Amino acid sequence: MKSQKKDSDLKLIRNWLKNGVRPTWQEVSRYGTTIKGYWAQWSSLCLRDGLLHRKWESPDGVSAVYQLVLPKARIHQVLEELHSSPSGGHFGVTRTLARVRDRFYWVNCRRDVEECEKLKMHSDKMKQRLDTTSTETAFEPGDAVWLYAPKRMKGRSPKLQKNWEGPYTIIKKINDLVYRIQLSPRSKPKVVHLERLARYTGHDPPDWFVVEDPPPRTEDSVIRDE
């Protein structure tokens, strides 16, 4: 279709598909809504005879239908032709126009782009928060910490209720974000996320947990390790 080959947006998408490399969101963010919409639909786009198509698979994946992607200008032309027809003002035609818009995915494109931008912002904020937390707050076995564990009681204002309990002791650092803690030698250990912990700065921190130094490496242990 000549109109598809003349469309600058579709030409760019076709070149990306031809190269087989999906650009990153940072590379796509400088483009308009149309390009971002196609980028969000990347997994359903394909090339057939050099033209851009959408692939619609059946739920069982056995069969597929390929839909030729029309340029934005061509879609507007089709809609204008339908609207200017003698029956264009009829209620049935109005519903047809709505189905045409949905069929060509423009409404869904905008929704996909909005959701993609919201997810990107949420992901960036979460990553920034975790990076800040993991770099500024790191615990080692033996450290005393508070545990965020709010308990709500009826009839009492949340401001008057305890949100933190402890002090707990760090028993083991499972990874950068997950720790094993214990309230006392006889209590049951808990595995919690870093975001629920705060460093204990009060008096008389618990000292019942002893951090054992690793056994010294002897010549026999070196031989066994090898």
Note the pLDDT tens digit of each residue in 171-189.
Answer: 998 877 889 999 999 999 9
Taking 50 as the threshold, does the pLDDT of residue 222 lie above it?
A: no
Burial annotation 123-155 (CB, 10 A radius, 16+ → b, else e): eeeeeeeeeebeeeeebeeebbbbbeeeeeeee
- Give the tens place of pLDDT for each residue, 53-85: 988 765 555 677 898 888 765 555 555 555 555
Residue 82 confidence (pLDDT): 56
Report the alpha-carbon distance of residue 19 to residue 15 in Å, rounded: 6
Residue ranges and CATH numbers for the domains of the chain are 2-124 (no CATH), 144-199 (2.30.30)
Residue 178 confidence (pLDDT): 86
What rounded mean pLDDT belongs to the chain?
Answer: 75
Higher pLDDT, 20 or 83: 20
Residue 131 confidence (pLDDT): 52
Q: Which residues contact 25 (CB under 8 A, 6 or more apart)?
A: 39, 116, 120
Cis ω for the linkage preceding 23 (within 30 of 0): no
Taking 50 as the threshold, does the pLDDT of residue 50 lie above it?
A: yes
Residue 224 confidence (pLDDT): 45
Structure tokens of 186? 């006889």
Side-chain half-sphere exposure of 18, counting CA atoms within 13 A: 10
